Each structure stands twice: as structure tokens, then as C-alpha cells.
Structure 1
Amino acid sequence: MNDSVEKLLSICSNPLSPLEGVKDCSKFFSSPLSCELNTLLDRKNGCYGFESALHVFPYQTTHEEIGLADWNNKNLWISSYGDMAIGALYFAEDIFGGQFCLKSDGVYFFEPETAEFKKLTNTINEWCEMVLSDYQVITGYTLAHSWQKINGPIPSGYRLAPKIPFVAGGLYELDNLHICKSLELMKAAANIALQIRDTPNGSSVKIIVIN
């Protein structure tokens, strides 16, 4: 296994699901990187890192954790974005529900409130290296740590969501964060993304937030 993958996994939690069984992510998404994700999940089948700021989904669903197949089921949350979130395999998330995903040519970041994809690296090993070098920003660790010092550990299946959407000027500050189920966060963000989809940059827009 590549050094950066091994190093990242070594400082993360225990596996979230039993390791038994063959991991074949190509069943969900055809990409040369699927084999790299298989290798990562074969070494550690899902995990949390940096005080839960980073969440890597396990291959299969357990009674506490949702697995890759179910999280990538289009009817769960991806269809809430219309056609804006298709064409990727979502395998991990940051503390705010930002999705790390595979496309055919690399690892990308999917911003929930805008549905924008940003390419991060060409390989999963490079992604692991990036996370290790800048985890405070990439995973949201700083706010995750501060929030949990006050409120206690974040349960499985939950992330920190903004009370005022970030895209509407909400600040990355503790007072603007609340705990939210990951699925609810993604659906609420999809509602925002659809509303601003065709809005030119710099334009004013009225966003209707559905709780």
C-alpha cells in the first residue's frame, strides 16, 4: 500500500465495518481509481479521523454506519440535486458534509450548497497526502474540535451544518453550527444548490431554506 494511505489510516479510528469480504467499488462506479479505493477499504473498512472531522464510508452498511452502495444510491440524496451530483462515487466527507468523491480522472471535492466539483488530486494516495498535510482546513478539524469540546462527541451519521448557509454569508464559526444528520444536511443543501443553480456570480438571490 502507498505510504500516504497507510499513514492516514494508521491515525484513524478502528474499521467501521468488518473487513471480511471482497471490496469491489467498480460495481458502483467504473473508474481506474476504484481499484485504489478497494485497496484502502480492504486495509480499513471505513473510519473516522481527526476527531470525526473526516469520515470514510465503509464498503457495506452496518446497524450504525451507512455503506458506499447505500450512500451512493441515487434515490437517497443524489437525485435531490437533479443532474448536478451524478457521475461520481462519494467515498468520504468532511465535518460539514462536503463530499470527497471519485471521477474517471481523479479525486474531487463536491461542495453541497453549490453542487460544484473541484478536482483535488489524480490518485487516492495523493488525496491522503493532501489530507495529512492540511487536515485542519480540508476536514474542518479546527471547528470540529472546538464544537466537540463544548457539546461532546459527534455521533455516527451526523455532521455539523450551518444555521445560515455558507453560500448566503453564514460564517464558519461555532455560533453558526448545529448538529445534523448527514442525509438531512445533503438534502437541505441540494435545495439551496437548485435555487442558485443559474444565478450569475455576484448576483443577489433570495434563498428559501427548508428545515
Structure 2
Amino acid sequence: MNTLTKLVERARGPLGAPVELDFGAGLPGELGALLSELNGFALFNYGVQVFHAGPSGLGPELGAWNAPDTWKDTYGDLADGLLCFAQDLFGVQFAIEQGRRVVTFDSETGERENVGPDLDSWAGWLLEQPDVRGVRSFATVWQDTHGALGHDERLLPVKPFVLGGEYEVDNLVVRDAVTAMRIRGQLARQLRDLPDGTPISFVIT
């Protein structure tokens, strides 16, 4: 049994109707096979959400989520070349970069971190530290206190984490996932290439 299969065994889903997807070879093909098996799902008490494909389903739809005018336009070219297929509780995106590797995309800064060459590596990376990388503990605490999040909702810090905001309940609000990404995109564009400590003006428009 590979690591991706172990991860899927922990999933709650599907979030979408059954589909048969062919995204070609390589990593996109792996994603198509995964969603053909389980079309969208949640992990770690909804700390991680994998998007469904097709018009019928709960939460973000893969194609619509990756459309430029959904939220990527607010990042300029920071999100270019990414096929975002999942996100965590705080809007960190899990993405296939240029069809070659899986990366994380920090929604507040636009920075990318290499996770591995395939979805099995991504699954192993999550399972190594589910409370941190999968946000399992915080997702559990939040929902035990405030109730379950909607499928289209994520948590947005009042004071962004990159500007010193705390990972605390009092610093977080529930927002529609698209709205939250568009807010973060404005921040990421201001922070781009700035040295640490540079004053910025963070205005939500």
C-alpha cells in the first residue's frame, strides 16, 4: 500500500459526484486518477480540503478555483504555473507547479516550498506532521468551539501571520475562501521583494 492510499483511507468524502478524469501523463495524470477514485475530500478534521472536479459538489471546484479571475489575478504573476488542488485551514495552497512537482503556496507571501515530485510524496509529507502540516489540532479546537466550517469557508487572520499575527482563536475570523484569497493576494503583492522590517500600508479594496 502506497502512502497516498493510506492518506485517502483517512479522508471524508467524496465532495463531488463521480467523475472519470484524464489529465494526461505525469503529476496532472496522478491528480486525475485520484479524483476519479474519490472526487474531493477532507482530511484531518477539515484541516485540509482537496477540491472536487465538475459542476456538482461541495466547496471549491478545481477548474473554477484555478480560473485567473477567481483569486489568482490579485497575486499578479506570483501564482503563475500553479494548479492548486487543495488548501489547508488557513488558505495555504497545495499545488502542482508546471506539471513537475508538488509545492505549498503561502497565500500571504506568495512563497513556494517544494514538497516532492509526486502525490505520494505529498501524502507522506502530510502524514509525517498532521497537526502542523495538516492543521489537524487547530481545526479540531476551532470547530469544537465554534462549530463546523462551511465547505466554502476558511479562517483568515485579522492581523496577518506574516505581519506578526498569532495563531490564536481571537485573531481569526471565518471568511468565504475566495474572498480570503483575494484579501491575501493584495498583501502578497505588497510584500514581494521587500526586505524584512519594511513598513507597508495594508489596505483591503
Calculate the TM-score normalised by the size of structure 1: 0.91
Superposition deviation, residue 187 in structure 1: 0.3
Correspondence 1:94 to 2:88:
yes
Deviations along 1:88-119, one digit per CA (max 9) or x if unpaired, are: 10000010010000013210000011011111
Correspondence 1:153 to 2:145:
no
2:176 to 181, 189, 194: 181
* Rounded Cα–Cα distance in structure 2 between residues aligned with 1:119 and 1:91: 15
Superposition deviation, residue 174 in structure 1: 1.3
Correspondence 1:57 to 2:51:
yes
* Rounded Cα–Cα distance in structure 2 between residues aligned with 1:209 and 1:145: 31
* Rounded Cα–Cα distance in structure 1 between residues aligned with 2:22 and 2:164: 41
Superposition deviation, residue 25 in structure 1: 3.4
Alignment-derived partner of residue 192 in structure 2: 197
Alignment-derived partner of residue 172 in structure 1: 167
Deviations along 1:134-180, one digit per CA (max 9) or x if unpaired, are: 11111222211111111001111111110100111001111111111
Q: 1:183 to 1:12 in 2, by over 3 A?
A: same
Q: Say whether the 8 Å CA contact 2:11–2:41 is kept in structure 1.
A: yes
Unaligned runs of 5+ in 1: none
Alignment-derived partner of residue 23 in structure 1: 21
- Residue 94 of structure 2 aligns with an amino acid whose one-letter code is F
Alignment-derived partner of residue 105 in structure 1: 100
Alignment-derived partner of residue 137 in structure 2: 142
* Rounded Cα–Cα distance in structure 1 between residues aligned with 2:95 and 2:5: 19
Unaligned runs of 5+ in 2: none
Superposition RMSD on alpha carbons, in Å?
Answer: 1.5
Q: Say whether the 8 Å CA contact 2:96–2:102 is kept in structure 1.
A: yes
Would you identify which runs of 4 or more consecutive aligned residues in structure 1 move more than 6 Å?
Answer: none
Superposition deviation, residue 63 in structure 1: 5.5
* Rounded Cα–Cα distance in structure 1 between residues aligned with 2:138 and 2:201: 25
Q: 1:25 to 1:69 in 2, by over 3 A?
A: farther
- Residue 160 of structure 2 aligns with an amino acid whose one-letter code is P
2:110 to 110, 115, 125: 115
Q: What SS does the corresponding residue of 2:26 show, helix, strand or coil?
A: coil
Q: What SS does the corresponding residue of 1:137 show, helix, strand or coil?
A: coil
- Residue 150 of structure 1 aligns with an amino acid whose one-letter code is T
Correspondence 1:5 to 2:12:
no
* Rounded Cα–Cα distance in structure 1 between residues aligned with 2:22 and 2:75: 26
Superposition deviation, residue 198 in structure 1: 2.8
* Rounded Cα–Cα distance in structure 2 between residues aligned with 1:105 and 1:180: 32
- Residue 61 of structure 1 aligns with an amino acid whose one-letter code is P
Q: Say whether the 8 Å CA contact 1:61–1:70 is kept in structure 2.
A: no
* Rounded Cα–Cα distance in structure 1 between residues aligned with 2:56 and 2:201: 36
Q: 1:152 to 1:189 in 2, by over 3 A?
A: same
Calculate the TM-score normalised by the size of structure 2: 0.94
1:130 to 125, 140, 154: 125
